[in-house]
Structure 1
Amino acid sequence: MNAYNSERERTFEALPPAHGRGFAQSWWGRAWLTALEGGALDGEQVRTGRRLARAGAVGAVSVRPGRITAVVQDRDGTGYRADVLLDVLTDAQWDRFLDLTVERAGHVAALLDREMPPHLVEDVETAGIELLPGLGDLEAECGCDAWDHCGHTAALCYQVARLLDQDPFVLLLLRGRAEQSLLADLQARSTAVPTEPEPAPQEGVDAVEAYLAGHVLPPLPAVPELPEQPGVPPTLDTEAPPPGDVEPAALETLAARTAAQAHALLAEAVRGGAERRGPARALTVGEDAVRLAAGLAGDGDGDGDTDSTRSVLDRLAAGTGRSREQLALAVRAWRTGGGAALAVLEEEWAVEGEALARARAALDTAWEEGERPVLRVRGNRWTVAGPAGQLRLGRDGRWWPYRKERGRWVPAGDAAQDPATALAAVGSEEAEGAEGVAEALS
């Protein structure tokens, strides 16, 4: 709950400890943590700050343009004033932000309803506006006299993720624009009547214009609008038998998925993001089969699908050496995190050397002492003793949550840098049942 509000400052009451749960539940909270853990702070500071924030050591948080402030208690009970600074956007950047937002009707409607659509971050990046902090953007000031970030300022950064769960407009205030001012400007721009600009004075005669004066060409057609949905390929269900080994259902599926992919690429180009997109890694046959299966109706197991869909699923499973149950699990993983999630589902590898040291450090600092779950380790898989929960370590260092359903391990949510955050996605019963036991990594 907010303890104090003004046009240029908001103060949030101290939040209770975050035992047995992840720090961020919303998209905005998780995006803040990803930006924070992706390089904004030193690893040791991150771990210390996470412990302090999880223990409830962060007091009331004041948020105003360019600065967040709170008193953070150290492990010995000493309180320190911690400040974290982030550059505000310039007036020109805010003008571009508002202009781009007005062009997206969905963004306008969402913001006026006090909602922050996640795609807003990607869209404003095309105009050179970064809402989330990047590497080195967060500056620190702390009463403990640390010259740079310390555990107290890192704890304050972690607490901001929980505030963004409550209200993502906190990020816009931190970047320099209060909610009411922003919404008022947005309302004014969305209802303003555009006026024709005054023609610029011209000197001389343009060569193209002079040429066209004697050679009138027809005007170019208007750029077609992006359709709301991909086109529907024609049906191949005819009375004539298909030639050779052509399977009409499989061909229809490929045509439909190609149309959907083309629509997605065109939509990205219209948003201006095509030039920022690098070449994608070529998928293996097995990955591409799962991608195609994920685009079909249902969950990949064929229940409730049409005969043609079931036929295509059978072919995709057989062609990649999977059973239908394995294909359904692969589809579930793909919809969770694409190729990275599929690799975690199907690969088991030995965690050794530096990767093992990083994994142990992450597990050591994820929970307060006395709250760590007992984990049995095999390869890159840490299984909770008792409750049906499991953590799988990806080769990129992220943790993926798994739960047991009908005797098999299935993906339970998105990956996270913090193993406690990932395990919280397995379910509240598993997280609560893990409290009070010691951790074993042998």
Structure 2
Amino acid sequence: MTGTDSGGAGGAGRGTDGNERTFAALPPAQGRAFAQTWWGRAWLKALEDTALDLGQLKKGRKQARDGAVGAVSVRPGRITAVVRARDGTAHRSDVLLQQLSTEEWDRFLDMVVERAGHIAALLDRDMPPHLVEEAASAGVELLPGIGDLEPECACDAWDLCLHTAALCYQVARLLDEDPFVLLLMRGRGERQLLDELQVRSARAARTRRGPAGGEDAGEGSGSGDEAADGSAGIRADEAFAARDILPPLPPPPPVPQEPGLPPSLDTEAAPPPGIDADALEFLAADAAGRALRLLVDALSAGHERQPLDRELTPGQDAVRLAASCGDPLIAVRLAEGTGRQRAELDLAVEAWRHGGAAALAVLEEEWQPEPEALARAKADLAGAWEDGERPQVRAGVAGRWTVVGADVQLRYGRDGRWWPYRKVRGRWGAAGPSAADPASALAGVGAGA
């Protein structure tokens, strides 16, 4: 199960041979969850499902949170760091992970080349669920499962100890930033993987063109894929997805710095009866701004993997409009048009600015979590703080917990995220963006940290 140790890694980057990377010690992680990405959480789940002693696991998490883990070395089959105990004693700690076989790597790389989106995701430091699921269907397990993480420590513990647990929690933070860390542990460095993908992409392109230089009978065949000299080309989406391992493409045209000016309706002729020129100008300006944002989003990395936005209801769109304008007269009209008091609209606007439609739903909807969701919420509350740090909270209705002795509240959303609320002048209002755990949500408003 052990990997090949490569010497000579230097600094917080890649070693000279590309098969070892060393990351400088990370600062303490107070007030934040260790893993933000789903693959980072999968790593921690494998750790937590493996541990026989949950007490050691908790101590290790505290050590990692306090910054006791030194520089982390990552190489095939092994991660290593020096971890200091509370008494200052330093221990070399290792965690081993089974490397993929040559056959498994071949299956994985062939699968990645088959879909341009897979290459684009990896180059964007992303590991989408469908990539991992398709790899598993091909018999290649990228993420560790129960029992896959094997600890070794100089403290001579026979099982997971607080030092190796602290190392695993620290590695979850590294995985959040770069899934290539996991692939290196499985046996291949980033440069080696990209070189192999380039070779396989070129081979696949030649296969599509066929022996005579023309497209095969599959998808994309026909004159539309041929250059002027009769040679077959490469689909634009595939070339763009592999832009970092193929010859460079010209950059896309620049995005405008600001939306275009809508037409002015200030003319000598009066508008027809029932037409509000000021309202039309405002809506035209809003449409231009939305169009620019849509363009920027469409050109951003990973846009094709993002879910489609749900269509807003008239009430939600009115809040969005109020949040985007600073004209009090328009705000008054929007409040009247949606049947809200002005103070209610102000609360809705504040919520929208913290999280859009999801935040607005948490403010306005009465939602009683189902037993399973309620159990997850209670587990989050129980495990978010270290011993003695948890604030006293009082459970209320609709997934709400109020901090005793403070005008601060936590609300649990339908998406499993936590939203901080504060009472001002007798009304509860959103006080910040959502967080994956309640401790981080409260830390954002200076409560319970």
Q: Is residue 431 from structure 1 mapped to residue 448 from structure 2 by the alignment?
A: yes
Match of 1:408 in 2: 427
Residue type of the alignment partner of 1:83: V
2:63 pairs with 56, 67, 73, which one? 56
Task: Report if the CA contact (8 A) 1:362-1:419 is conserved.
Answer: yes
Q: So what's the TM-score if we normalise by structure 2?
A: 0.59
What's the secondary structure of 1:431's corresponding residue? coil
Q: CA separation in 2, counterparts of 1:202 and 1:161?
A: 47
Match of 1:249 in 2: 278
1:327 pairs with 331, 345, 353, which one? 345
The change in CA–CA distance for 1:62 and 1:276 in structure 2 (over 3 A counts) is: closer
1:367 pairs with 356, 371, 385, which one? 385
Residue type of the alignment partner of 1:37: R
1:283 pairs with 312, 318, 322, which one? 312
Q: Is residue 127 from structure 1 mapped to residue 131 from structure 2 by the alignment?
A: no
Q: Is residue 383 from structure 1 mapped to residue 402 from structure 2 by the alignment?
A: yes
* Larger RCO, structures 1/2 (Cα 8 Å, 6+ apart): 1
Match of 1:69 in 2: 80
Task: Report if the CA contact (8 A) 1:402-1:409 is conserved.
Answer: yes
Give the alignment's Cα RMSD to 1 decimal. 5.0
Q: CA separation in 1, counterparts of 2:120 and 2:347?
A: 39
Q: CA separation in 2, counterparts of 1:351 and 1:61?
A: 42
Q: Is residue 295 from structure 1 mapped to residue 288 from structure 2 by the alignment?
A: no
Q: Is residue 158 from structure 1 mapped to residue 165 from structure 2 by the alignment?
A: no
Determine what percentage of the aligned residue pairs are the same residue: 44
**Structure 1 position 388, deviation (Å):** 3.2
Q: Kindly provide the CA deviation profile for residues 218-269 of structure 1, in whole angstroms up to 9, marking residues without a partner as x.
A: xxxxx99454122121122334333222222222222122222323333444
Match of 1:422 in 2: 441
Matches within 5 A, 1:81-100: 81-83=93-95
What's the secondary structure of 2:410's corresponding residue? strand
Task: Report if the CA contact (8 A) 1:126-1:272 is conserved.
Answer: no
**Structure 1 position 367, deviation (Å):** 1.6
Q: Is residue 141 from structure 1 mapped to residue 150 from structure 2 by the alignment?
A: yes
Residue type of the alignment partner of 2:69: G
Task: Report if the CA contact (8 A) 2:73-2:81 is conserved.
Answer: no
Residue type of the alignment partner of 1:127: A
Q: CA separation in 2, counterparts of 1:267 and 1:87?
A: 40
The change in CA–CA distance for 1:282 and 1:16 in structure 2 (over 3 A counts) is: closer
Match of 1:340 in 2: 358
Task: Report if the CA contact (8 A) 2:322-2:331 is conserved.
Answer: yes
Residue type of the alignment partner of 1:399: W
Q: Kindly provide the CA deviation profile for residues 325-374 of structure 1, in whole angstroms up to 9, marking residues without a partner as x.
A: 22222222222222111111112333352222111111111122222211
What's the secondary structure of 1:41's corresponding residue? helix
Q: CA separation in 2, counterparts of 1:405 and 1:392?
A: 16
**Structure 1 position 81, deviation (Å):** 3.6
Residue type of the alignment partner of 2:279: A
Q: CA separation in 1, counterparts of 2:359 and 2:272?
A: 38
Matches within 5 A, 1:231-242: 231-242=260-271
What's the secondary structure of 2:422's corresponding residue? strand
2:41 pairs with 34, 37, 44, which one? 37
Q: CA separation in 2, counterparts of 1:331 and 1:61?
A: 45
Residue type of the alignment partner of 1:431: G
Task: Report if the CA contact (8 A) 2:422-2:429 is conserved.
Answer: yes
Q: So what's the TM-score if we normalise by structure 1?
A: 0.60
Residue type of the alignment partner of 2:407: A
Structure 2: which 5+ runs fail to align?
1-9, 109-115, 133-140, 185-189, 192-211, 215-221, 229-250
2:295 pairs with 266, 272, 276, which one? 266
Q: CA separation in 2, counterparts of 1:328 and 1:286?
A: 13
Q: Kindly provide the CA deviation profile for residues 393-416 of structure 1, in whole angstroms up to 9, marking residues without a partner as x.
A: 001221112234454333233322
Task: Report if the CA contact (8 A) 2:319-2:348 is conserved.
Answer: yes
**Structure 1 position 78, deviation (Å):** 13
Residue type of the alignment partner of 1:293: A
Q: CA separation in 1, counterparts of 2:255 and 2:23?
A: 45
Q: CA separation in 2, counterparts of 1:384 and 1:12?
A: 38
What's the secondary structure of 2:366's corresponding residue? coil
What's the secondary structure of 1:56's corresponding residue? helix
Task: Report if the CA contact (8 A) 1:226-1:267 is conserved.
Answer: no
The change in CA–CA distance for 1:341 and 1:50 in structure 2 (over 3 A counts) is: farther
Match of 1:435 in 2: none
Residue type of the alignment partner of 1:158: Y
**Structure 1 position 316, deviation (Å):** 1.7
Q: CA separation in 1, counterparts of 2:28 and 2:254?
A: 47
Match of 1:358 in 2: 376
What's the secondary structure of 2:150's corresponding residue? strand
- Paired residues in the alignment total 341
**Structure 1 position 62, deviation (Å):** 1.2
Task: Report if the CA contact (8 A) 2:390-2:448 is conserved.
Answer: no
Residue type of the alignment partner of 2:95: D
Q: CA separation in 1, counterparts of 2:321 and 2:119?
A: 30
